[in-house]
């Protein structure tokens, strides 16, 4: 068989409403036909460059342009220890923020936090590990994957880095009480990729492993890595996501930067896009996804949340922590993500914003959305769920992408709570106080991170009757 040959079939994005069922039927048939012709010694059609409205399906394992879909979600936040509990609280506008207690190195009640209480496997274990595993187990179960009968050599794992060994810093600061237990093996939790390794080992995944540490963009970057691993033909399915637990070094840095919000009522502290906003509250939690190529999902009869219509990264060469006030890089990212997804600005119904609640971020993000969407920005629904669950730093992108996918599934878009005095510079429809129902097909998730890391995901709701979620399938908001 000629190396690199492939066939073309109509893309899901070519006619979203009608072609999903047809594509679902054709995907398996075409890939099966191509693979059978290889065994029969027949040459497939000559290689043809990809065209608008067409999707490339390669012979064998390489599936560069085949759609990648989300089939499982696991979610743990301060508002709930499982996906549906956490999501229902977010839909209801309930806050998980309280006075922070019990975190080594941080005096009780000194700052606010949106924490999660989960048991650890041994004393001194970082909380990110059980958080990640809990979310992973839920995602795998949700996707209906039988690991005992899965090809784990074709199962990838892409989980973001966690806080590494801070022993040196603690020694320099004279905080010997914060030094890790010497009996803990350093390779079990002190490498930045230890969480990825731990989860992959737990489930026996032998496919490609990737782990990134790019601050608040980490979760989306690792989701993008998982998508590319599938498109590259390195695996058929992957577990991807991130977890975060509040750490005294992180908290100290943010406190010194004066970006941590404070309020006599903890639930009212985080108020993105409000004129009285004063920063963010750190949060804890995790989100994990099962992502897979479309034909793989259809062949095993999976339920599909949404298609990852596009995922893009962009750099902002302005400042390590500051943002370009003209928002050119972020605006370019949003526009290029729409182009990759072949969407018009008016096609976007909802945006889950980065929305930290800092003076700079919220104004810049508003300008970028307006610049990218033009007049369509007047109709789009936008919200920051950090107002309820806090800022999960390296897990923020994953958790908020999960919320975005659930919002599309239910046709309900969560509110920005505490938005009682809108800032005139933040003049989009930020869904103040209460969420809203809407039959939208497309949504964006944006992450903005220290170091100039900008990432955006475009999701397309999966409406095909046999493999998608009908709005009537889920409880009313």
Determine how β-strand 348-352 pairs with β-strand 381-383: parallel
- 274, 419 Cβ separation under 8 angstroms: yes
Query: Tens place of pLDDT for every residue, the chain, 477 residues?
Result: 223 322 333 333 333 333 344 344 434 433 343 333 333 333 333 333 333 333 444 434 444 479 999 999 999 999 999 999 999 999 999 999 999 999 988 999 999 999 999 999 888 888 999 999 999 999 999 999 999 999 999 999 999 998 766 666 767 777 777 777 777 777 777 788 999 999 999 999 999 999 998 888 899 999 999 999 999 999 999 999 999 999 888 888 888 889 999 999 999 999 999 999 999 999 999 999 999 999 999 999 999 999 999 999 887 767 666 666 767 899 999 999 999 999 999 999 999 999 999 998 899 999 999 999 999 999 999 999 999 999 999 999 999 999 999 999 999 999 999 999 999 999 999 999 999 999 899 999 999 976 668 999 999 999 888 888 876 554 444
In angstroms, how far is CA 222 from the centroid of its own chain? 9
Domain count, the chain: 3
Instruction: Tell me which residue of 61, 46, 37, 62 sits closest to 8, measured CA to CA.
Output: 46
Tell me the pTM.
0.84
Domain finish residue from 271, 298, 325:
298
Other Cβ atoms less than 10 A from the Cβ of 60: the count is: 15
Residues 380 and 233 in one domain: no
> Residues 459, 16: contact at Cβ < 8 Å?
no
Domain carrying residue 38:
6-58
Report which secondary-structure segment, H or E, holds 340. helix 328-341
Q: Are residues 294 and 311 in the same domain?
A: no
Find where tokens 């690792």 sit: 222
Torsion of CA 371, 254, 455, 391, to 10 degrees: -90
Whether residue 1 is contained in a domain is answered as: no
Domain annotation covers residue 63: no
Task: Write phi, then psi, for 408 (nearest 5 degrees).
Answer: -65, -40
Which CATH number fits the domain that encloses residue 74?
Answer: 3.40.47.10
Q: Strand 282-283's sheet: what is its strand order?
A: 98-99, 112-114, 282-283
Please indicate, yes or no, if residue 377 is contained in any of the structural domains: yes
Residues 36 and 90 in one domain: no
Helix (H), strand (E), coil (C) string for 218-279:
HHHHHHHHHHHHHHCCCCCEEEEEEEECCCHHHHHHHHHHCCECCCCCHHHCCCCCECCCCC
Last residue of a domain, one of 245, 269, 298: 298
Q: Are 404 and 266 members of one domain?
A: no
- 331 and 409 co-located in one domain: yes
Q: How many CB atoms lie within 10 A of CB 102?
A: 10
Question: What does the block give as tokens for 124?
Answer: 């001194």
State the catalytic residues: 216, 354, 391
Q: Which helix (H) or strand (E) holds 314?
A: strand 306-315
Same-domain check for residues 428 and 286: no
Q: What's the rounded Cα separation, in Å, for the pair 410 and 377? A: 22
The verdict on 140 and 284 lying in the same domain is yes
3-state secondary structure of 315: strand
Q: What is the pLDDT of residue 323?
A: 66
């Amino acid at each position: 068989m000629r190396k690199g040959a492939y066939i073309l079939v109509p893309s899901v994005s070519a006619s979203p409403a009608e072609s999903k069922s047809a594509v679902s039927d054709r995907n398996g048939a075409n890939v099966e036909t191509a693979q059978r012709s290889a065994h029969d010694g027949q040459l497939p059609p000559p290689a043809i460059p990809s065209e608008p409205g067409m999707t490339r399906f390669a012979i064998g394992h390489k599936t560069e342009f085949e759609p990648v879909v989300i089939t499982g979600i696991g979610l743990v936040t301060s508002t709930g220890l499982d996906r549906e509990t956490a999501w229902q609280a977010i839909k209801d506008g309930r806050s998980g923020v309280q006075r922070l207690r019990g975190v080594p190195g941080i005096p009780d009640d000194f700052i606010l936090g949106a924490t999660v209480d989960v048991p650890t496997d041994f004393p001194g274990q970082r909380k990110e590990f059980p958080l990640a595993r809990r979310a992973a187990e839920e995602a795998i179960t949700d996707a209906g994957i039988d690991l005992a009968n899965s090809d784990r050599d074709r199962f990838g794992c892409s989980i973001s880095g966690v806080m590494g060994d801070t022993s040196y810093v603690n020694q320099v600061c004279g905080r010997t009480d914060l030094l890790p237990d010497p009996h803990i093996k350093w390779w079990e939790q002190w490498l930045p990729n230890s969480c990825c390794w731990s989860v992959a080992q737990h489930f026996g995944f032998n496919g490609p492993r990737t782990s990134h540490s790019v601050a608040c963009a980490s979760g989306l970057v690792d989701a993008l890595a998982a998508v590319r691993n599938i498109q590259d033909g390195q695996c058929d399915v992957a577990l991807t996501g991130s977890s975060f637990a509040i750490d005294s070094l992180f908290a100290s840095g943010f406190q010194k930067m004066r970006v941590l919000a404070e309020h006599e009522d903890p639930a009212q502290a985080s108020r993105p896009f409000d004129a009285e906003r004063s920063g963010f509250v750190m949060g804890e939690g995790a989100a994990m996804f099962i992502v897979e190529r479309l034909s793989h999902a259809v062949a095993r009869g999976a339920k599909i949340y949404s298609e990852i219509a596009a995922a893009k990264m962009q750099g902002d060469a302005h400042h390590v922590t500051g943002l370009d006030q003209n928002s050119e890089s972020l605006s370019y990212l949003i526009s290029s993500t729409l182009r990759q997804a072949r969407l018009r600005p008016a096609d976007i119904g909802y945006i889950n914003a980065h929305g930290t609640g800092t003076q700079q971020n919220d104004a810049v993000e508003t300008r970028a959305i307006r610049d990218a969407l033009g007049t369509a920005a007047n109709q789009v629904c936008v919200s920051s769920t950090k107002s309820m669950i806090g800022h999960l730093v390296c897990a923020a992108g994953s958790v908020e992408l999960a919320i975005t996918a659930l919002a599309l599934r239910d046709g309900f878009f969560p509110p920005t709570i505490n938005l009682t005095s809108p800032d005139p510079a933040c003049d989009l429809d930020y869904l103040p106080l209460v969420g809203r129902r809407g039959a939208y097909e497309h949504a964006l998730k944006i992450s903005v991170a220290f170091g100039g890391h900008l990432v955006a995901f475009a999701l397309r709701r999966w409406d095909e009757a046999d493999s998608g979620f009908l709005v009537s399938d889920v409880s009313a908001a």
